[in-house]
Amino acid sequence: MKENVLITGAGGLIAQELAKKIEHEYNVRFLTRKKKRPNEYEWNIENGSIDEAAFENLSHIIHLAGANISEKRWTKERKRVLISSRIDSAKLLSDTLKKKNIRLKSFISASGINFYGTKTEEKIYEENDSPGNDFLSEVVVLWEKAADHFKEQHLAERVVKIRTAVVLTEKEGALKKMVRPIRYYIGSPLGSGKQYMPWIHIEDICYIYEFALKNTAVDGAYNAASPQHITNRDLTKEIAHVLKKPLLLPNVPGFILKLMFGELATAILEGSRASSLKIQKEGFRFTFPDLNDALSDLLQKKGKPKDKN
């Protein structure tokens, strides 16, 4: 009999792509604000309501809910939303599990590579390194504490935290924003261009979640970032190369980005490297470890990757 998996953040691309990969082996359910399909269940984080039918005979939760970090300027209210959408949503899940006396086989939570702080330096961060001391690292630390609660309160046999790098997909996010100006000959690196950009192909982040779901030895925090380290300048140049477009303009000055995005600009202008050796030692293999191959797949559609792991 198939085990039941509940996925939050149903509207996100990772949730939808992941569901396609696991639905032949698991019964996939979604938590969403407005039910549209039979396998969807409604919840509302603000008022604490949730359809408890989603928890019947439930074995796993993959918690992907969370407001987009880079969607809006970080006002006080936006910061509150960024934290609440992650922490309060996890609390609603844990409260429901307690109420129904359910113990999951696994609770797998999204997390962020910004756990280590937003700074550009030569250190390559590993999972046992200390967190940073800026707003993004604060968000991730609280996010992971909310996930750890499930194990501490015996609500799940294991908790996995996926510290996710910039997800490359042609459909949304950073890559889509970078491609458009390059296509129209107005693309250029941001700030110094020397800031590192941990990245991962959309296929590989979905494979990591699938790998974590299926492998009981996977427990704790894992960096989900390609083993190839690149800078913002590297990424910009490689996109232009794949699209066969020249880069004609100088770098976008950092002060312009700060005027446009406020404090959020820090996440654009700074960035460090992160090691993915831990997940690889568990047996995971990247389909797209190379940036050129990843961009060629996404922007030229040369072919689909093989089934993995």
Q: What is the mean pLDDT of the chain?
A: 93
Q: What's the pTM?
A: 0.94
- The share of the chain scoring above pLDDT 90, in percent, equals 85
Predicted pLDDT at 294: 97
* Angle, alpha carbons 261-265-269 (nearest 5°): 150
pLDDT of residue 306: 45
d(C-alpha 127, C-alpha 180), whole Å: 34
For the segment 4-18, the average pLDDT, to the nearest whole number, is: 95
Inform me whether the pLDDT recorded for 257 exceeds 90.
no
Which range is least confidently modeled, 30-34, 192-196, 259-263, 280-284? Answer: 259-263
- pLDDT at residue 233 tops 50: yes
Would you say residue 209 has pLDDT above 80?
yes
Neighbours of 84 (CB within 10 A): 15
Residue 309 has pLDDT above 80, yes or no: no
Q: How confident is the model at residue 265 (pLDDT cuts 50, 70, 90)?
A: confident
Angle formed at CA 276 by CA 209 and CA 193, multiple of 5 degrees: 110
Residue with tokens 């991962």: 200
Domains of the chain: 3-235+253-300 (3.40.50.720)
What is the pLDDT confidence band of residue 308, given thresholds at 50, 70 and 90?
Answer: low
Residue 305 has pLDDT above 90, yes or no: no
Burial 224-253 (b: 16+ CB within 10 A, else e): bbbebbbbbbbbbbbbbebeebebeeebbe
d(CA 233, CA 193): 5
Q: What residues form DSSP beta bridges with 31?
A: 41
Report pLDDT digits (tens) over 267-287.
888 999 999 999 999 999 999
Confidence class for position 31, pLDDT limits 50, 70, 90: very high
The pLDDT score that the predictor gives to residue 268 is 87
